[in-house]
Amino acid sequence: MRNDIDQELLNKLSAGLERLDAQYDDISPPSLPAVEQFLAAEALRRRHQSRKELLLFWFVALFLLMIILTVLGNAPVIYWILQAAFPLAALGGYAVTRFRQRREDGER
Amino acid sequence: MSDGTLELIKRAQQGDASALAELLREHYTFLFKYLIKATMDPSLAEELAQDTMVRCMEKISTYNGSSSFSSWLITIATRLYIDRKRRWKRETQWFRQEQGAAAIRWRFESRNMEWSEVLDALSRLPLPQRVAVLLKHYYGYSYEEIGIIVETAAGTVKSRVSAGLHQLRKELKEDEK
């Protein structure tokens, strides 16, 4: 009995999805030159973006290195406190994110 | 997979941009139709189809032929969809869901076709259940294959399919009353 009900539901579902598919039978894929142009533009955008990100990375890295060397030279105690605080903050942040994600997945 | 598709994949992996474009164009309709059913939102399906093509362009060299090319596209598209929804706020999710279903309903009505209750119920299922039901009972993937696509255990997929069907049954029964 339960199997019959399930089968009926699955038949309805397949029929509904086939009708939905049929609604979009008339869509035509983009033309070949349009796809080529889209991919070329996207590849160029990605290249520019990664170059920009690399520059930003170097800039931030140099800036941080400069600060670290300055603090190490002038206030070594603060330097060692920061050395301990940053990994702890990162671990705490990671744990909170994991906890939130699990809770969201559980709710779903 | 046809020999033509295999040849296109091979050329695309060697860096031939026009082969990649041809390959993606060949699969565009399949991909778009999958995304329409998974998202129940035509404009989101179009955005995700484009994102999938871009991701495919980046990852084509990693495609190893262990699954069909269309399954590979489904995997990329589904993961992009899950990722995008994760970043949306709850209100945005609800709003887009309603808007998407309304657009599909309008398409049915504008062609004088009756909107299906089962599709309405399917559009209200949570994303993990809808994708699991769709891949299992429309595309015919096994629980293990779906697990690989959505990056979760086969047992979890099985319970999502079962919960999804249970919810559909419940909603359809309520509509009949």
Is the pLDDT confidence value at A79 over 90?
no
pTM of the model: 0.77
pLDDT score recorded for residue B33: 95
Classify residue A28: in a domain, yes or no: no
Q: What gap in Å lies between CA A67 and CA A83, rounded to an integer?
A: 13
The string over A35-45, giving b where at least 16 C-beta atoms fall within 10 Å of a residue's C-beta and e elsewhere, is bbebbeebeee
* Chain B residues closer than 8 Å to A15 by CB: 116, 118
pLDDT score recorded for residue B85: 86
The string over B5-32, giving b where at least 16 C-beta atoms fall within 10 Å of a residue's C-beta and e elsewhere, is beebbebbeeeeeebbbbbbbbbbeebb
Is the pLDDT confidence value at A108 over 60?
no
Q: What gap in Å lies between CA B110 and CA B115, rounded to an integer?
A: 11
Q: What gap in Å lies between CA B110 and CA A2, rounded to an integer?
A: 37
Is the pLDDT confidence value at A5 over 70?
no
Contacts 24+ apart (CB under 8 A), B2-8: B5/B69
Is the Cβ–Cβ distance between A35 and B21 less than 8 Å? yes
Range of the domain at A82: 75-108
Partner A contacted by B130 (CB < 8 A): no
pLDDT score recorded for residue B175: 63
Classify residue A22: in a domain, yes or no: no
Classify residue A83: in a domain, yes or no: yes
Is the pLDDT confidence value at B15 over 60?
yes
Q: Show Cβ contacts of residue B149 under 8 Å, excluding neighbours closer than 6 positions.
A: B71, B74, B75, B78, B79, B135, B141
What pLDDT band is residue B177 in, cutting at 50, 70 and 90? low
Residue contact B17–A10, C-beta within 8 A: no
Classify residue A107: in a domain, yes or no: yes
Classify residue A39: in a domain, yes or no: no
pLDDT digits (tens, 9 = 90+) for B47-90: 999 999 999 999 999 998 888 999 999 999 999 999 988 887 76
Percent above pLDDT 90 for chain A: 46
Partner A contacted by B43 (CB < 8 A): no
pLDDT digits (tens, 9 = 90+) for B97-135: 777 778 888 888 888 777 788 888 998 899 999 999 999
Classify residue A46: in a domain, yes or no: no
pLDDT score recorded for residue B172: 82
Q: What gap in Å lies between CA A101 and CA B92, rounded to an integer?
A: 18
Number of domains in chain A: 1
Q: What gap in Å lies between CA B59 and CA B79, rounded to an integer?
A: 14
Contacts 24+ apart (CB under 8 A), A39-45: A39/B17, A39/B20, A39/B21, A39/B24, A39/B53, A39/B54, A39/B57, A40/B17, A42/B54, A42/B57, A43/B57
pLDDT digits (tens, 9 = 90+) for A15-68: 989 988 888 888 888 899 999 999 999 989 989 999 999 999 999 999 999 988
Classify residue A100: in a domain, yes or no: yes
User: Across chain A, how many H-helices and E-strands are there?
Assistant: 3, 0
More confident of the two residues A51 and B173: A51
What pLDDT band is residue B91 in, cutting at 50, 70 and 90? low
Classify residue A17: in a domain, yes or no: no
Stretch 44-103 of chain A: residues touching chain B, C-beta under 8 Å? 46
* Chain B residues closer than 8 Å to A46 by CB: 58
Partner B contacted by A13 (CB < 8 A): yes
